[in-house]
Structure 1
Amino acid sequence: MKLYFLVFDIYGMGGTVRTVLNVTNYLAQAGYDVEIISVFRYRQEPFFAIDPRITINVLHDMVNRKNRKDKSPIIEKLSKMKSRLIHPDDEAIHFFSLLTDLKMYKYLKTITSGILITTRPSFNIFASKYRNKAVRIIGQEHLNFSIYPDRLKKAIIKNYIHLDYLATLTDEDTKDYKRLLEGRDHKVKVRKITNSIPKLQGVISSLEYKTIIAAGRLVPQKGFDLLIEAFKIVHEKYPDWKLKIFGYGRDKDFLMGLIEENKLYNHVLLMGPTQHIDIELSKASIYALSSRFEGFGMVIVEAMQCGVPVVSFDCPMGPSEIISHNEDGLLIEDGNVEEFAKGLIELMGNEEKRKYFAKNGLINVKRYEIDQIGQIWKETIDEVFQSV
């Protein structure tokens, strides 16, 4: 039986793309027949490596749109009409249209067997409503239930019972979804399957660099504004250290403004996106996670894999499940900028503590390696296959 992964844009960057490819590349190498259905395509070449054994089907190709033959007035009109089938509280709703609805619906109806793995709440809901009955669905949750708007929460509770499996990232999420979905007419199985890390391409950091690193989309969720405020305090004590922030997003100009306002333009650097965050981590001594909320916090795991200690806000939900406070990193009171700065200063001034955290982190991180998480995926997939 075939595996289908429904994603927003497999050619893009970001945590979901990276984790989906970690899993699909592993499964393809293990001999599974894997197809990725990418609703959109906004890049000519994929940002991350895709195993050549994986089939890619793009439904709405924005790169080659100029050369498409479907530029009829009806197509153009549909592309400007609001989506009716994607939940309106999807954070990317403005990318979808009635045209993409029709393309998704039509393609979904061509899948008559196998397992469909969906990767965001609106896709989980969409598939639960419109899949062919013989198709099994594993829905993935990359964020915690508590952060969703009420309207989306209601839709999740109503529709997730029609999934076969729901894959969650943390123990807390697993408990929440079991509580929400237990006792309903349909018995969806909820299972924790954390994100995974691929094989290390860089080297273990020497922890001698005067560099703090952070990475993620430049959006309010990631709290880079809070990190810049904290680094302003840090800079007064350690003016020879730098902060490098990797990623791109709509807050770039806002963050640049903060950097200039605080006269940190020679010390806080917006580096743009990188395909190899592990190589950049190998040239840093501290990783800073300043998010207001996280689904998991894959970059924490990647930092530990590279022997880089982490200072993180204890935000909901993921960091406290990965980091053991004062053993392999520091958990700081959620949103407390002054305490975050103190945590950075503590590690910046204590190389021995950095090395102690790094040593423990390298042990901790083994549970997230793709060979471990990939095996859980194989067990889950095989269990679903056997139930068909």
Structure 2
Amino acid sequence: MKKIVILTDQICKIGGITSLIYLKGNYWVTHDHHEVHVITTEQQGKEPYYPMNSEIKLHDLDVNYNRFASYFSPKNLIKIFKNLIRLQSQLNKTKPDIVIVANHIPVTFFFPLLFTKAKFLKEFHFSKFYLSRRKKTLFRRFESYLESKFDFLVVLNPEERAFYEYDNVVTISNPIQVNMETEPVYTHRKNIAMAAGRISGVKRFDVLIDIWSKFIEEKKDWKLEIYGDGEQEDIDLLKQKIVSLNLSDYVEIKGSTNTITEKMSSYGLYLMTSAAECFPMVLLEAQSCGLPIVSYDCPTGPRNIVTHNHDGILVEMDNQDAFVKELVDITANESRRIELAKNGFVNAKKYTLDVIMDIWDKEIINKKEI
């Protein structure tokens, strides 16, 4: 049995990292019988968003960073010292074998100051594609130096591995938790395309709406639904765009939902127009539900999940006309849509929870004498 500590800011809000902590933590205590602790900095007395197993021990350090300021601003600097002291105290009590930094939080910058025999691991859930093309600043050199001090860096796809300079990098994809025993129904699906994710600039739902405005000139019997939360200002801008393009009958912003896979199991297409994606789990969820994918070939995630014209469609980045053409073609060819969906379901089986957690066990948990 290993003692595993997972560090994050909070687990009270919906999100990909919160979901992953829930999946992996529950798996480790139920299947492998490890001891798991989740340590947060700003849970604020709220219940976890996902139902954590009662054997998982939850600790909140009550640091409560100011999220509207830099971590190194005067408002947060004293909180970093508080974080360091309280985390050290908790590690002294827990005595973990491995500490997982689950996202980009301040402990990333001060973990070498902690006194513990534990191995340290950092997970990266974002793409370094664009960052790797910029001039390396002094601060980035400092970040790179810190990365070298981790025992493991976990990235989500082989392409991302090339952006890290050291030999401590391990590639482990994210798992999905969907029932893969029963094959989905591929026929008689609704003429509804969907997209999902946080309403923010990087997801470029505004671009998707532009594409849809061109598509419905050819196919007025289809509708687009966008699922996700975000800043109200960003949501309002999308709604204004829908009205300005006279798309109110064809596009709807639906907000977040806990029944995303149910919708995926009955809808006709999943669409993605992001500027960048590291490893979009939503594409695997779509494939597991028999939902064919049309996505821009953005760096770096989609092409590490989707094989073009086999289990989905990848469109040249920012080529809206090509995207529209693919939509017109696939909505007119149900047999092709079904073939892509069936192949996608087979692909998704490679990312089930048991498969991915076995990789964690072999590459991390029971490696290097942890």
SS in 2 for 1:18: helix
Match of 1:71 in 2: none
- Give how far 1:120 is off: 2.5
* Match 1:234 to one of 195, 215, 222: 215
Q: Does 1:369 align with 2:352?
A: yes
Match of 1:196 in 2: 175
Match of 2:30 in 1: 29
- Give how far 1:122 is off: 4.2
- Give how far 1:255 is off: 0.9
Give 1:113-262 correspondences, 5 Å limit: 113-114=95-96, 115-123=98-106, 125-148=108-131, 150-151=136-137, 153-177=140-164, 180-182=165-167, 189-200=168-179, 204-207=184-187, 208-250=189-231, 251-262=234-245
- Give how far 1:258 is off: 1.0
Whole-Å separation in 2 of the counterparts to 1:162 and 1:133: 14
Amino acid at match of 2:333: N
Cα deviation code 1:169-210 (max 9, x no counterpart): 010112332xx125xxxxxx2110101101339982545211
- Give how far 1:260 is off: 1.0
Whole-Å separation in 2 of the counterparts to 1:336 and 1:258: 20
Amino acid at match of 2:56: I
Change (3 A) 1:25 1:371: same
Cα deviation code 1:80-119 (max 9, x no counterpart): 9966xx468xxxxx9x824542442123212143211012
SS in 2 for 1:108: helix
Change (3 A) 1:284 1:60: farther
Deviates more, 1:365-374 or 1:343-352: 343-352
Whole-Å separation in 2 of the counterparts to 1:246 and 1:46: 22
**Partners of 1:124 and 1:140 within 8 A in 2:** no
Change (3 A) 1:308 1:97: same
Amino acid at match of 1:200: N
- Give how far 1:243 is off: 0.7
* Match 2:263 to one of 247, 260, 280: 280
- Give how far 1:79 is off: 6.4
Q: Does 1:387 align with 2:365?
A: no
- Give how far 1:349 is off: 1.4
Change (3 A) 1:82 1:219: closer
Cα deviation code 1:332-386 (max 9, x no counterpart): 01122222122222221111111100111111111110000011112234335x5
**Partners of 1:11 and 1:43 within 8 A in 2:** no
Match of 1:73 in 2: none
Amino acid at match of 1:130: L
Give 1:1-16 correspondences, 5 Å limit: 1-16=2-17
- Give how far 1:217 is off: 0.4
Q: Does 1:109 align with 2:109?
A: no
Match of 1:38 in 2: 40
Deviates more, 1:288-297 or 1:141-150: 141-150
Match of 2:339 in 1: 356
Whole-Å separation in 2 of the counterparts to 1:277 and 1:312: 18
**Partners of 1:278 and 1:306 within 8 A in 2:** yes
Q: Does 1:335 align with 2:318?
A: yes
**Partners of 2:121 and 2:154 within 8 A in 1:** yes
**Partners of 1:39 and 1:100 within 8 A in 2:** no
Whole-Å separation in 1 of the counterparts to 2:269 and 2:69: 44
**Partners of 2:61 and 2:87 within 8 A in 1:** no
Whole-Å separation in 1 of the counterparts to 2:45 and 2:228: 16
- Give how far 1:42 is off: 6.5
Change (3 A) 1:249 1:124: same
Whole-Å separation in 2 of the counterparts to 1:279 and 1:139: 33
Change (3 A) 1:15 1:262: same
**Partners of 1:234 and 1:341 within 8 A in 2:** yes
Whole-Å separation in 1 of the counterparts to 2:61 and 2:143: 25
Deviates more, 1:21-30 or 1:134-143: 21-30
Whole-Å separation in 1 of the counterparts to 2:115 and 2:79: 19
SS in 1 for 2:224: strand
Whole-Å separation in 1 of the counterparts to 2:107 and 2:160: 16
Whole-Å separation in 1 of the counterparts to 2:336 and 2:365: 44
SS in 1 for 2:121: strand
Whole-Å separation in 1 of the counterparts to 2:315 and 2:44: 37
Deviates more, 1:266-275 or 1:366-375: 266-275
Gaps of 5+ in 2: none
**Partners of 1:40 and 1:61 within 8 A in 2:** yes
Identity of aligned residues (%): 28
RMSD: 2.6
Whole-Å separation in 1 of the counterparts to 2:347 and 2:311: 8
Cα deviation code 1:19-63 (max 9, x no counterpart): 23222221121211111122223794433332222122223387x
SS in 2 for 1:360: helix
Whole-Å separation in 1 of the counterparts to 2:274 and 2:219: 23
Gaps of 5+ in 1: 63-77, 89-93, 183-188
Q: Does 1:315 align with 2:298?
A: yes
**Partners of 2:185 and 2:290 within 8 A in 1:** yes
